[in-house]
Structure 1
């Protein structure tokens, strides 16, 4: 499948999605969001893909924000629909994807870019990365989940400061606050993400999908995360992956998970 604003490469058991709008610092517009949703949906259905890495083209930016020119003159009603549709189409969609998604944050991740990175299951940053939610400097607030996911990751106080000052956080500070898992040089960024994706690929994709659901349930006000975990734990016992994993352990061999 061909896309207008992204590149998709599959190798072994992983896929790499590259947002490819370098002249716009990979800013998200409606067409790019649509491309991303379609790519994630297709890769999630592909049983050979065990992990997805998402990054931005070039060395300056992961995603430098949303394309402001698209919504600068929106009414309240249109803005409401933009936020609602965007969250459903991409940000919440990625967060709840059963295939793990790693954000390779190369450079600026601002506004919608940081919101996309936070929707991924975890993040690795290059040492030149800078992250922030500058929306209040434009008279608006983050609309793609930023006010919810940032406090979950860094705590309420740090999140409030970042949002209210519209300031940027460098990679090392992001690491110290738990916003990213690793900080490496730009040359090391993709190799580390590939290494992590390979480690993920050795495990049961079915169990990982259930783990994602259980972890996410703990951050929803209307869901009992412990009950979600119990339910997911029980369901694992009915899978072929569980049969293979336990048999391999008892037989002292490497598991070959069928993914079912």
Structure 2
């Protein structure tokens, strides 16, 4: 399975799998990368030797960007929005959250939108002072976080702070993200690699069943998450059907979204999108 990856470098040794995303220029979650992330989850689940998964980025400035807005604009919006079951992105996030393998995100660079939602489902997140930046840019472009952000962020940082991030479209720096509970720790660039590797090694050395059941027990504290995810998807689908959302997403792309320059200033860009009417 791992040899089929085009945008993910995968290696596994002594119970620790390291998946490094390399999808320049910004690690945008295109449909192809989404499929590879799903294949990654499957590969990890099927390998009984893997105890810990570390997700990293090969790009110095970007960890994992949002879902491809161009692809979102192609979503089927015929007919009314309906409450149903998990969408495909929810299912992927839940797969990482509930797998017996411990999942760790080593966040060096920007993470935003769906990228942030994906790692919010991971067991732990570690960032770099002065380098890690978190952003949810959906509301400024007319939609809402539809990959679990409205449900997971309040659980990580509290309702008020989650609303500040989601409604404000602000950049959240590593020090604040650590203080608010999004990041486990904000470390220096030299510290993060050795720290995460040491922690992963400790966990991988412990009795596997004890680790698996302890993780399962801790995540039971988040119940009932499923109902909230279904409601989030319904509201996302409603917004996606509005003319304002379609126009805002198109302006986002036209004004530099999904380019390295635009993504580096995404908080400012999203405000420009929201205040510029075509």
Q: TM-score, normalised by structure 2?
A: 0.74
CA 1:83–1:217: 2 relative to 1, 3 Å = closer
CA 1:38–1:158: 2 relative to 1, 3 Å = same
Using the alignment, how far apart are the partners of 2:158 and 2:173 within structure 1? 17
Tell me the equivalent position of 1:231: none
Instruction: Describe the superposition over 1:116-139 as per-residue Cα deviations: whole angstroms up to 9, x where unpaired.
Output: 111110101012100021100110
Tell me the equivalent position of 1:173: 176
Q: What is the correspondence of 1:205-244 to structure 2 with a 5 Å cutoff? A: 205-221=208-224
* Helix, strand or coil at the partner of 1:218: helix
Shift of 1:45: 2.4
Shift of 1:186: 2.5
Shift of 1:112: 0.7
Tell me the equivalent position of 2:162: 159
Tell me if structure 1 keeps the 8 A contact 2:137–2:169. Answer: yes
Which is further off, 67-76 or 77-86? 77-86
Asked whether 1:50 is paired with 2:51, we answer yes
Using the alignment, how far apart are the partners of 1:195 and 1:150 within structure 2? 27
Q: TM-score, normalised by structure 1?
A: 0.79
Tell me the equivalent position of 1:16: 18
Taking only aligned residues, the RMSD between alpha carbons, in angstroms, comes to 2.2
Task: Select the structure with the greater relative contact order (CA < 8 A; seq sep ≥ 6).
Answer: 2
Tell me if structure 1 keeps the 8 A contact 2:151–2:225. Answer: no
- How many equivalent residue pairs? 221
Using the alignment, how far apart are the partners of 1:120 and 1:74 within structure 2? 26
Tell me if structure 2 keeps the 8 A contact 1:52–1:102. Answer: yes
Tell me if structure 1 keeps the 8 A contact 2:11–2:17. Answer: yes
Tell me if structure 2 keeps the 8 A contact 1:51–1:99. Answer: yes
Using the alignment, how far apart are the partners of 1:98 and 1:214 within structure 2? 11
- The partner residue of 1:106 within 108, 114, 117 is 108
Tell me the equivalent position of 2:187: 184
Shift of 1:92: 1.0
Name structure 2 gaps, 5 residues minimum: 227-278
